[in-house]
Amino acid sequence: MKILGVTGTSGSGKSTFSKILGEREDIKVVDADKVARELSVPGTDYLQDIVNVFGDNILLEDGNLNRRALAHIIYSDENERKRLNSITFPHIAREIYTRIKAFADPKIKYAVIDAPLLFEADLDKVCDSVISLVAPEEVQIKRICNRDGLDVDTAKARLSSQKPASFYVENSDIVIMNTENTNLRDEAEKLLKELEMSDKALEKKTNRKDKVDEGR
């Protein structure tokens, strides 16, 4: 089983792309954002660690995490964002590793880590390939506003707190430009064909090496 990392900034389409990949029976997807949400329920060490640093005012009356209040803090202050990441990344990474190890079915060919902060959490280091999605800024802003119900200025502020597209282009194995005209299903099919061809080529090379070693 190979591990693929799928990442990119808000509005890049990474989660949509990961969901398309996950439609195949031989691919399993672990969504880092979903993992974080599941870990943040009342009574968990994850949530308590956040409260210990940011206080009870980031909780709702029922004890659940007030995501909007926390987002307001971390998107307006880089240092606070770094503090939050230092608390949450270890919890999230451990849970992701646990879930990947649980994919015991030999039919599973790829495990996909869908993570907006793949590099920041050092999850890229366990990936066989990193795929990043990038998009024009105006397209990202439009998607963020439509998805999260935010105004343009708030969407721009969110993007400004994230790494630029150039970072993903420079640090990824594969980059997909996701414009308004991009068909992500076609891109997913193209990606998987490339990966499968690469796997077959590596397998042939390994088999040839084994035969040479046997003949010595």
Domain boundaries, the chain: 2-215
Q: Give the model's pLDDT for residue 212.
A: 44
In order along its 216 residues, the chain shows pLDDT tens digits of 899 999 999 999 999 999 999 999 999 999 999 999 999 999 999 999 999 999 999 999 999 999 989 988 888 888 999 999 999 999 999 999 999 999 878 889 999 999 999 999 999 999 999 999 999 999 999 999 999 898 999 899 889 888 999 999 999 999 999 999 999 999 999 999 998 887 766 555 555 445 445 555
- Nearest C-alpha neighbor of 195 from the set 139, 124, 127: 127
Provide the pLDDT for residue 106: 85
Q: DSSP E strands: which ranges in 20-143?
A: 27-31, 110-114, 129-134
Q: Would you tell me how many other CB atoms lie within 10 Å of the CB of residue 70?
A: 18
Give the Cβ contact number of residue 202 at 10 Å.
10
What does pTM read for this prediction?
Answer: 0.85
- Identify the sign of the CA torsion 42, 43, 49, 51: positive
Cβ(7)–Cβ(118) below 8 Å:
yes
Q: Output the furthest CA–CA distance in the chain (Å, rounded).
A: 72
Residue 187: predicted pLDDT: 96
**Predicted local distance difference test score (pLDDT) of residue 213:** 52
Instruction: Report the CATH number of the 2-215 domain.
Output: 3.40.50.300
Cα separation, 154 vs 132, in Å, equals 23
